[in-house]
A = this chain, B = another copy of it.
């Protein structure tokens, strides 16, 4: 049911010098399924990430944060390891021990320290990780490490995704071309801060660690933190940017033209990867952009945008292509902006002016609303009339298929 995903996913994703990818079928949860991915990095690489704010953050997320926070010169991150089929979350001390065991096993195989490994897991929560099967799969994954393996990498991190998600781009900075390739996964339990999603984006630029730390946060706020499917924030969300440092472009400070160019390229690719997650949202039949304008600040615009995007009544109306647009007004009204003057508010569905100064626009015709509702891509635009802040988020509708998928997930 994916909405306008670029199909077929390009098999010719661009390799990024300095990062090799290898996958395996480890049988974590099901047999005959690519469920293990190793990404091996050049020693010149810098890595930065942002992670879920869920208090039940998974064992691998705890280790990722610890390893990134403890980075020392001369001991960079050398590899990432991702398993699907089990989230290793809600698993307490034994879960943490198993995540450490995973890092130690991969470190042994690659000849580095366990703290130079970042582990990632996605799948069912509250079940013990079958770490023996995971570790047994590592040699196979390492045996097929190669730079030109992004398509398999995208396949290897899927869970309820119906399609792999990946994209590549190139940008020229100071006359030098750099390459960017990213993959993402996630389809349910998707919400700001962040989705149940994993996103990995690599470039061959050379980026100083503090610069990359800042870049990953700012990009996440404009991409993966702007999507929602069902409002559930997962225990395992992670977005990682890797700069392998093999190209001739160096970015050493934030207030430079090089940074601006790199930021724009990474942001564009991250937004594409984030939007692919929404387009492949569980049961999605519509891709919906919610833009709230003329707010006093970005925070209130986001509050209202998310209130609309999370409303089951709004989402089911979109699924039905029913312009029952009063539901959008209701969602705006309960968003928690307590001093909102609704008489200043205007609502548009694409080019159709639905509500004017807080009431139904006298010129609004149901047929016009109906026409837009039938589209597969729709923009809801709200003008608050009280400032100049703007926020945009992306979401999808709520369909029977969503219920089916989530009522059947573990079977």
Contact = CB atoms under 8 A, between A and B. Distances in A.
Task: Tell me if A's interface is mostly helix, strand, loop or mixed.
Answer: loop
A326 B359 contact: no
Interface string A339-369: 0101100000000001101111000000000
Contact size class for A?
35 or more
A315 B317 CA distance: 19
A232 B126 contact: no
Contacts of A319: 403, 407
B231 A92 contact: no
A107 interface: no
A176 interface: no
Given A54-B333, A232-B312, A90 B402 contact: no
A205 B186 CA distance: 58
A87 interface: yes
Contacts of A230: 311-313
A337 interface: yes
A306 to B, nearest CB: 12
A220 B70 CA distance: 51
B189 A330 contact: yes
B337 A55 contact: yes
A121 to B, nearest CB: 12
A92 B358 contact: yes
8 contacts: A53-B334, A55-B335, A231-B310, A233-B333, A312-B312, A313-B406, A400-B400, A402-B403
Interface of A: 53-57, 87, 89-95, 124-128, 188-189, 191, 193, 230-235, 310-313, 316-317, 319-320, 322, 324-327, 329-335, 337-338, 340, 342-343, 354-355, 357-360, 398-400, 402-404, 406-411
Given A126-B329, A319-B407, A399-B403, 20 more contacts: A55-B332, A55-B342, A56-B330, A57-B333, A90-B326, A90-B329, A90-B355, A90-B358, A90-B360, A124-B324, A125-B329, A127-B326, A191-B334, A231-B310, A232-B311, A235-B330, A320-B406, A322-B409, A398-B403, A400-B404
